[in-house]
Amino acid sequence: MTIITSFAGVLAQISEGATHFAVDNSDKGVENMAASLFIILIFLSCLFLGTGAASDGGAAMPSEALSQDPHFTGCLSRDLQTFRCWWNAGSFQNLTDPGALRVFFATSRSSEWRECPEYSASVPNECYFNKSHTDIWTKYCIQLRSQAQNITYSDLCFDVENIVYPDPPIQFNWTFLSVSRSGLHFDIMVHWEPPPSAEVKSGWMTLVYEVQYRETNTSRWITLEQEKGTQQSIYSLHTGTEYEVRVRCKMRLFENFGDFSETILVYIQPIPTKESQFPVTRVLIFGAVGVGILLLLIIFSQQQKLMVILLPPVPAPKIKGIDPELLKKGKLEELSSILSSHYMYQPEPYQEDDWVEFIEVDTGEPCEKQGADSDTQRLLGSGPGLLGFKDDDSGRASCYDPDFPDPEIPELPLPKQGLGPAHLATASSTSPSPTAVNPVHPLIQTQLGTQTWVNMDFYAQVSDVTPSGGVVLSPGQQGGAPQEVEEEKKKEKEGEEDKEGEEREKEEERDKSKKKEVEKFQLVVVDPEGGAYTSERDARQISAEFKPGQGYTPAPPQAPAPGVPMGGYQSPYLLIEGPPCPPLPPVSDYTVVQDVDAQHSLLLNPTPPEPQIPQPPTPAKPLPAMPVGYLSPDLLGNITP
């Protein structure tokens, strides 16, 4: 201010002198001189005022409320070749004059402190380090000192490569890449050039770039990955939306990004699609769904048929004309009728008649006669005790035949005896179909009966078995002995299956046979695997081969315990002497078992004229009158000798 006033005073004096000079000389020249002098004065004053104002402005910089020391605000380099540093006087107003604060620096190379090589003329509080004063890969330390260098306000140390903030890339622009088929999305490629200040071509600086974009008027920028090259593609932008894109760069493997470039705007009109796309996909979807539903409907409606087609049922084994249900339920009568109607067993019906015939013809045994039909029926019918009689099919009878007389003939050697029962046992045990037994009886019996032995008994007692396998029969009474023998044979043969009742039955039969004086017959089974019947020829053979005189020896008197189940034919042969129907002149050794009750007692044919007196038989004694209709187990014990 004092300078200005003094200067103003000087100017006034000059102007006075000038006017005086002008008055002395001509009037025009003096006027010109005065005007130019006046202009010069004004210019100079403005200049001084300007500097004063500048210094005033410097001092008038907004100062922080808090008192703050002068400090460095930052240092940065743009090109890794030069750098600048700025400082702030802080709240110290008096230090704002130029030269009030001084900057000194030192490097690791030259460790003495040197003052800032160049204080920027244009920018205040800036120290500029030019190329010659910039060493890369050296540590710089700068200090802010007072003018007198007695106070160090702040200091800063750095490496130049760590303060590099590159300039923003230039020539930033975008090009259209492609648009999607739906016309909703498009891709662009943005490209730029590295900042000219950065020496990239020579390899001095390696820059990486980062592109950011966003929809206009949104707040969040989307950052893409750093790129070493000078272009970047942006995918999947929406048509009809305006986008802003910008880019910045930094030195590779250093942290400081430079400023962003100016943002460019990207916009593409939405393209109306020529072809409507979605009906195709929708039609396909609907079609697939419809087809699926149709298939499901078909499957569910035609489930049975499909199951049959896909998984055909396996045919179960069945016999023609026979319902497996019958077998399950055990209605053997029906089954027997069915089987009887089977072609295999065709001869049976008429033979049944013959059987009946025979029963009728056979007058020797009233008891037999009476119960003929019922006998046959009961024989044929099912009964728990008679199950054992029901042998299997015809083939077995022949197997059995050699074994028939084994248990009845005690004179046979034991192994054979043992063999016999075993054979019978096995044979009988393996016989599955009970109904096959029935035809066996009538077949053999009728065959024998019809052909040759019209006058003979229906039963014959087996007295011996020849080694050749022939059965030696002892002829029973004229009436029914052979038949009885047959029947007994069959019964005994099949009796293995049913333990107690069968045993008793057999024993009874044997008892009966023992009673009688029987003729011996020889039954030769010629065709073991043939039918269960012997042919006419065979029967004749049998009769021819019969050797008279072969009596049968009674079994050793062994009393089997009643009720004891006997596995084989170990039971001794029981001689039952005495006819079951005593007054009959030919008293048959056998009687027909009518039925077996639940207690496994044999129900015999009642003989009306005979008193039913249970009397234990004795060997070679006539059997006392027995209760024909009923034989209890203990009675059976009595019977045995």
Partner 1 sequence: MAKNSIKWDGVARDQMNHRGTRTEREMAQRFKGSNLFLTALLCLVSRYHAAGLGDLLDRASQLSDKLHSLSTSLTNELDTHFPPMGKILMPRPSMCHTASLQTPHDKDQALRVPESELLSLARALLLSWNDPLLLLSAEAPSLSHPHNGAIYSKTRELQDQSNNLSSGLDRLVHKIGTSSKSLSPLPFKGGDLGGDKNSRLINFYFLLSCFRRDSHKIDNFLKLLRCRAAKQDIC
Single-letter amino acid, residue 205: M
Report, in Å, the least distance between residue 109 CB and partner 1: 8
Burial of 65 (0-12, 13-18, 19+ CB in 10 A): exposed
Taking CB under 8 A as the rule, does residue 76 contact partner 1?
Answer: no
Stretch that binds partner 1, among 155-163, 306-314, 480-488, 560-568 (CB under 8 A): 155-163
Q: Which of residues 548-577 bind partner 1 (CB under 8 A)?
A: none
**99 backbone φψ class: left, alpha, beta (φ>0; ψ -120 to 50):** left
Strand partners, 602: 596, 631
Residues 197-226 that bind partner 1 (CB under 8 A): 199, 201-204, 206
Tell me, residue by residue from 233 to 272, as one string, x for binding to partner 1 by CB under 8 A and - for no binding.
-------------------xx-------------------
Q: Which stretch binds partner 1 (CB under 8 A): 50-58, 131-139, 481-489, 583-591?
A: 131-139
Cα torsion 623, 628, 631, 635: sign: negative
**x-or-dash string of contact with partner 1, 362-391, rule CB under 8 A:** ------------------------------
* Residue 80 binds partner 1 (CB under 8 A): yes
Distance CA 348, CA 423 (A): 27
CB of 202 to partner 1, least distance (A): 4
**Between residues 201 and 328, which has the closer beta carbon with respect to partner 1?**
201
Q: Give the position of tokens 């201010």.
A: 1
Interface with partner 1 includes 305 (CB under 8 A)?
no
Contact between 468 and partner 1 by CB under 8 A: the answer reads: no
Is residue 436 within 8 A of residue 564, CB to CB? The reply is no
Q: How far is the CB of 64 from partner 1 (least distance, A)?
A: 25
Q: Does 134 bind partner 1 (CB under 8 A)?
A: yes
Amino acid at 338: I
81 binds partner 1, rule: CB under 8 A: yes
Q: Does residue 106 bind partner 1 (CB under 8 A)?
A: yes
Given 69, 115, 161, 545, the residue binding partner 1 (CB under 8 A): 161
CA distances from 350 to 353, 357, 443, 484, 624 (A): 5, 10, 10, 21, 39
Provide the token pair at 449.
């009966």
Binding flag, residue 141, partner 1 (CB under 8 A): yes
Contact 633, 385 (CB under 8 A): no
> How many C-beta atoms lie closer than 10 Å to residue 227's C-beta?
18
Cα 601–chain centre separation: 61
**Interface pick for partner 1 out of 25, 138, 241, 599 (rule CB under 8 A):** 138
Using rule CB under 8 A, residue 155 touches partner 1: no
**Is the CB of residue 452 less than 8 Å from the CB of residue 540?**
yes
Counting residues that bind partner 1 (by CB under 8 A) gives 26
167 binds partner 1 per the rule CB under 8 A: no
Q: How far is the CB of 135 from partner 1 (least distance, A)?
A: 4
Beta bridge partners of 154: 144
| Least distance in angstroms from the C-beta of 122 to partner 1 | 24
Stretch that binds partner 1, among 138-146, 346-354, 366-374, 443-451 (CB under 8 A): 138-146
DSSP letter string, 440-492: HHHHHHHHHHHHT-SSS-SBEEEEEE-TTSPEEEEE--TTTHHHHHHHHHHHH
Single residue of 88, 107, 398, 591 touching partner 1 by CB under 8 A: 107
Q: How far out from the chain centre does Cα 543 lie?
A: 75
Point out which residues bind partner 1 (CB under 8 A): 80-81, 106-109, 111, 131, 134-139, 141, 157, 159, 161, 199, 201-204, 206, 252-253
